[in-house]
Amino acid sequence: MGNFVDCCRGFWCGTKNPNVRISLPVVCFVWQIAMIILFGVFVRYDEESDAHWSEHRHEKNITSDIENDFYFRYPSFQDVHVMIFVGFGFLMTFMKRYSFGGVGFNFLIGAFGLQWALLMQGWFHSLDPTDGTIKIGIENIINADFCVAGCLIAYGALLGKVSPVQLMILTLFGITLFAVEEHIILSLLHARDSGGSMVIHTFGAYYGLTISWILYRPKLDQSKHLGSSVYHSDVFAMIGTLFLWMFWPSFNSAISDHGDGQHRAAINTYLALAASVLTTFAISSLSAKKGKLDMVHIQNATLAAGVGMGTAAEFMITPYGSLIVGFLCGILSMFGYLVLTPFMEKYMKIQDTCGIHNLHAMPGILGGVIGAITAATASESVYGHEGLINTFDFEGAFANRTPAIQGGFQAAGICVALVFGIVGGIIVGCILRLPFWGDPSDDNCFDDEVYWEVPEDEESIPPILEYNSHMVGKSADRMSDTNFSVEQS
């Protein structure tokens, strides 16, 4: 029995080997080939991207090519694409020696995730019953990017503590869970969630936090010196922040209704985001001894309003309603950074590298609640008869639904997202604890050296070494005279 325990301990707690030379290529190749085969069997162009479009257009009496959905959504798609790869990617470059991992693994997760998402979401939403294939168009690729966002949020909690192989597994399961959860919330409950407060942010954040809780590292403070930022890494992170902030109106409006739906969603998000910037600056200054602003707050809490408007953006929440949402999200998120994150790390053993609890989890739930309230209080006087039907899609099987009932289903959606995030996170977290995924040891976290060839950085070579040992290039020449005087002394 003792032997067995020892054996287990050795298995679970043995020396970490973060060499992914075999596992990462195997996972990448196997999954990419699987994607090719599954796409071959299942995925085809939809009628707007198929070469038969011109015939289809004549049949349906569509007057112009400009009414192809491509022209309604492509600009928003590109903005969303920038948010996923530059926005999330550069937001995660803030650490002094984990910028490669931040932006690089973000890239890997995104590129794999969107392929798997096209399949998973396709099976639920775009399956053509006549031939059993998935028909894809511009809306599918926006949704695939959205789906990826959920996994990237989860990565935010784990940044610097996991191996790329673990991330690929996290993504595989994350996308799968996402598609099921999304189907339940959007199709079965028929909730509206165009910017994904519930579907993307709440799910993604709790999925990541639960995994982080299961992968708790008691000795993470051994890597603490690498977990902070340096001056220019904070500036890099601002690239991420700003692209997320600027393009969030496109995120929340990308798949909402043509015409007023997209128009209103963009305006509401624009306003909410502006308000949260002011509350973030205010509280960040208020909370510091000498009133000094903290870059961590500016980089993150300013974005909370985008999350908080994810459900209600396309509703008639009114411009001042949007400002109030932004105001509250900024406060809520700052409260998280100042109070909850340290508390959670100390007492709940949740190590949340990027503070996704503050940026995605709480504002996501708040966004869901705001959406439920806004939906429940909708009325024909505000939306118009046709507008109410269009906005909430009260058609077909849902033609008899009232706004009040809709509000209830919206609230139910939050619970579904939470349950999927937490239960899914427990399962996937346990899988990721298996000891052969190549994660770094506790004193090796937040360090690109583990998975990347890091260039010799002239500037970071300690000064003494520079003149006592082997010298390189120019700076060596410059110093040859001064060298002597030192040796003299």
Query: Which CA distances in Å does 23 have to 36, 175, 275, 336, 430?
Result: 20, 21, 46, 37, 19
Q: Which of residues 163-202 bind a second copy (CB under 8 A)?
A: 164
Stretch that binds a second copy, among 87-95, 205-213, 358-366, 406-414 (CB under 8 A): 87-95
In 49-176, beta strands by DSSP E? 127-128, 133-136
Q: Which residues of 379-417 are buried (b: 16+ CB within 10 A; e: fewer)?
A: eeeebeeebbebbbebeeeeeebebeebbbbbbbbbebb
Q: Smallest distance from the beta carbon of 214 to a second copy, in angstroms?
A: 25
Q: Residue 379 corresponds to which tokens in the numbers above?
A: 């009325």
356 closest CA partner among 299, 287, 283, 436: 299
Name the β-bridge partners of 134: 43, 127
Which part of the chain contacts a second copy (CB under 8 A), choosing from 1-9, 187-195, 366-374, 457-465? 457-465
The angle subtended at Cα 170 by Cα 168 and Cα 175, nearest 5°, is 95
Binding a second copy (rule: CB under 8 A), the pick from 1, 5, 66, 399 is 66
Residue in the block written with tokens 């969107």: 114
**Tokens linked to 90:** 């550069």
Pick one of 327, 335, 394, 398: the residue that binds a second copy (CB under 8 A): 327
Instruction: Between 187 and 228, name the residue whose CB sits nearer to a second copy.
Output: 228
Q: Which is nearer to a second copy, 132 or 319 (CB)?
A: 319
248-267 residues in contact with a second copy (CB under 8 A) are: 249-250, 258-260, 262-264, 266-267
Minimum distance from residue 228 beta carbon to a second copy (Å): 6
- Residue 51 interacting with a second copy (CB under 8 A): yes
* 72 is a contact residue toward a second copy (CB under 8 A): yes
Nearer to a second copy by Cβ, of 389 and 427: the residue is 389
Q: Quick check: 63 binds a second copy (CB under 8 A)?
A: yes
Options 127, 278, 373, 427; binder of a second copy; rule CB under 8 A: 278
* Smallest distance from a second copy to CB 338, Å: 13
Cβ pair 140, 122 in contact under 8 A = yes
Site map for a second copy, 382-421, x if CB under 8 A?
xxxxxxx-xx------------------------------
**Comparing C-alpha atoms, which of 312, 279, 274 is closest to residue 297?**
279
> Interacting stretch for a second copy, rule CB under 8 A, among 40-48, 364-372, 396-404, 419-427?
40-48
Q: DSSP assignment, residue 44?
A: E
- Binding to a second copy (CB under 8 A) within 344-373 occurs at none
Figure out which of the listed residues 16, 44, 183, 433 binds a second copy, where binding follows CB under 8 A: 44
Q: Is 272 in the site for a second copy (CB under 8 A)?
A: no
CA distances from 342 to 153, 242, 352, 462 (A): 19, 26, 10, 33
Q: Which of 130, 396, 463, 470 binds a second copy (CB under 8 A)?
A: 463
Site for a second copy in 122-141 (CB under 8 A): 136-138, 141
CA-based radius of gyration for the chain: 25
Q: Which is nearer to a second copy, 111 or 373 (CB)?
A: 111
Q: Does residue 486 interact with a second copy by CB under 8 A?
A: yes
Q: Is residue 32 at the binding interface for a second copy, with CB under 8 A as the rule?
A: yes
472 binds a second copy (CB under 8 A): yes
- Give the total of residues touching a second copy (CB under 8 A): 166
Nearest to a second copy of 281, 422 (CB atom): 281
Q: What angle do CA 207, 211, 217 make, to 5 degrees?
A: 150
Contact between 228 and a second copy per CB under 8 A: yes
Site map (CB under 8 A) of a second copy, residues 99-118, x = contact: xx--xx--xx-xxx-xx--x
If binding is defined by CB under 8 A, does position 34 make contact with a second copy? no
In terms of C-beta density within 10 A (0-12 exposed, 13-18 middle, 19 or more buried), how is residue 49 classed? middle
Does 9 contact a second copy by CB under 8 A?
A: no
Task: List, in sequence order, every beta strand (DSSP E) within 86-132.
Answer: 127-128
Label each residue of 155-220 as H, E or C.
Answer: HHHHCCCCCHHHHHHHHHHHHHHHHHHHHHHHHHCCCCCCCCHHHHHHHHHHHHHHHHHHCCCCCH
Q: How many C-beta neighbours within 10 Å does residue 193 have?
A: 28
